[in-house]
Amino acid sequence: MGLITGYWATGTLGAAASHSLFTHLEDGATSADQLAARAGISQRGAQTLLDGLVSLGLVELRDGHYRNTAEASTFLVEGRSTCLSGFAQLKLAHMEAMAGLPDVVRAGGPLADATVEVADNPHWEELVQALAAQSAPVAEIAADTLRLADAGEISILDIGGGSGIYSAVWLERNPAARSTQADWGPINAIAYRLLAERGLADRFSRIDGDFHTTDFGTSAHDIVVYSHIAHQEGPEDNVAIFAKIRSALKPGGTLVICDYIVDDDRSGPPFPLMFAAEMLLKSKQGGTWRRADYRAWLAKAGFDDVSFQPTASPAALVFAR
């Protein structure tokens, strides 16, 4: 029953996030009446959401007062770098598309134009900002592994960098580093604005357009990032882009891939296995790829040193040299 009604959780969490309930609770509201007044929603609606959030383990009730659990406080309060409330709202909006999954499964892919193949698709504008909170901790982990703070005057290329979160985290860590992002023009503009807000725009440049045809240069970069891109591409495109990246890297440079990666026998982990349905809905050739796939594609593209690093998030890192 829990699985069959799983959309109740997406709906309750997405609705609570839409009305900033976690932020109001953090700011001191403790009852349905107070939440209703602060959020501008009905008392009946507030009580219903609170009941659902207690059921989900995101809000706790003590002596008649509601408050966020530690997890909700970390991941759902607005203004925190770890806030996933935007992502919760985005997933609520995607629920209608999921209702079309039976037809998409029959057809083997999206019935209309696939989300990821449409140039300048407005889908990305919502997604990349919602995704930033998920990518930020992974960018920090990669920065530690690569010791980027001490790497000196390095050049970074971020392919499909979205919100520019990797550039933001890494340029903050290393004041001598410079970064270039290859993405659609409107998305690069969002990244530029977000980096400017952090005082980093003077070390950030942009290449607008389709990264399949963008020239990444030759021996131009120390680090190339490919985060949450491999899953939208088919095997041939991933190999072609990896080969272009190999040429764009300086000798000794590193390709950093972040993605939802499944075990070679496809027995886990749970999140990447389930994510394959998103790619069936949204892409013509995407999927969740196995470690063996990455190893084979990277070898074909000329990388001979490949290592994998799990993270506490559902995404794993791959380092290729």
257: how many CB neighbours lie within 10 A of its CB?
28
Which residue type does 211 have?
F
Q: What's the closest the beta carbon of residue 122 comes to ligand SAM, in angstroms?
A: 10
Q: Which residues pair with 308 in a beta bridge?
A: 318
Question: Which one among 66, 75, 124, 242 touches ligand SAM, defined by CB under 6 A?
Answer: 124
Of 142, 285, 134, nearest to 225 by C-alpha is 142
Q: What's the closest the beta carbon of residue 313 comes to ligand SAM, in angstroms?
A: 11
Distance CA 292, CA 130 (A): 30
Judged by CB under 6 A, the stretch of 37-45, 225-233, 268-276, 286-294 that binds ligand SAM is 225-233
Q: Does 184 engage in binding with ligand SAM (CB under 6 A)? A: yes
Our CB check for ligand SAM shows the closer of 60 and 237 to be: 237
Of 87, 78, 89, nearest to 15 by C-alpha is 89
Question: Which one among 14, 110, 161, 287 touches ligand SAM, defined by CB under 6 A?
Answer: 161
Q: Does 229 engage in binding with ligand SAM (CB under 6 A)? A: yes
- 145, 171 contact by CB (below 8 A): no
Our CB check for ligand SAM shows the closer of 164 and 253 to be: 164
The SS3 of residue 95 is helix
Window 261-300: contact mask with ligand SAM (x via CB under 6 A) = ----------------------------------------
Our CB check for ligand SAM shows the closer of 147 and 212 to be: 212
Our CB check for ligand SAM shows the closer of 233 and 293 to be: 233
DSSP letters for 123-135: HHHHHHHHHHHHH
Our CB check for ligand SAM shows the closer of 38 and 221 to be: 221
Question: Which one among 128, 143, 223, 320 touches ligand SAM, defined by CB under 6 A?
Answer: 128
Q: Does 256 engage in binding with ligand SAM (CB under 6 A)? A: no
Burial annotation 193-218 (CB, 10 A radius, 16+ → b, else e)? ebbeeeebbebbebbebebeebebee
Q: Does 160 engage in binding with ligand SAM (CB under 6 A)? A: yes
Our CB check for ligand SAM shows the closer of 69 and 232 to be: 232
Distance CA 35, CA 19 (A): 9
Q: Does 227 engage in binding with ligand SAM (CB under 6 A)? A: yes
Q: Does 224 engage in binding with ligand SAM (CB under 6 A)? A: no
The SS3 of residue 317 is strand
* Residue given tokens 């919502």 in the structure block: 126
Our CB check for ligand SAM shows the closer of 249 and 257 to be: 257
- Total binding residues for ligand SAM by CB under 6 A? 19
Q: Does 133 engage in binding with ligand SAM (CB under 6 A)? A: no
293 Rama class: left (phi>0) / alpha (psi -120 to 50) / beta: alpha
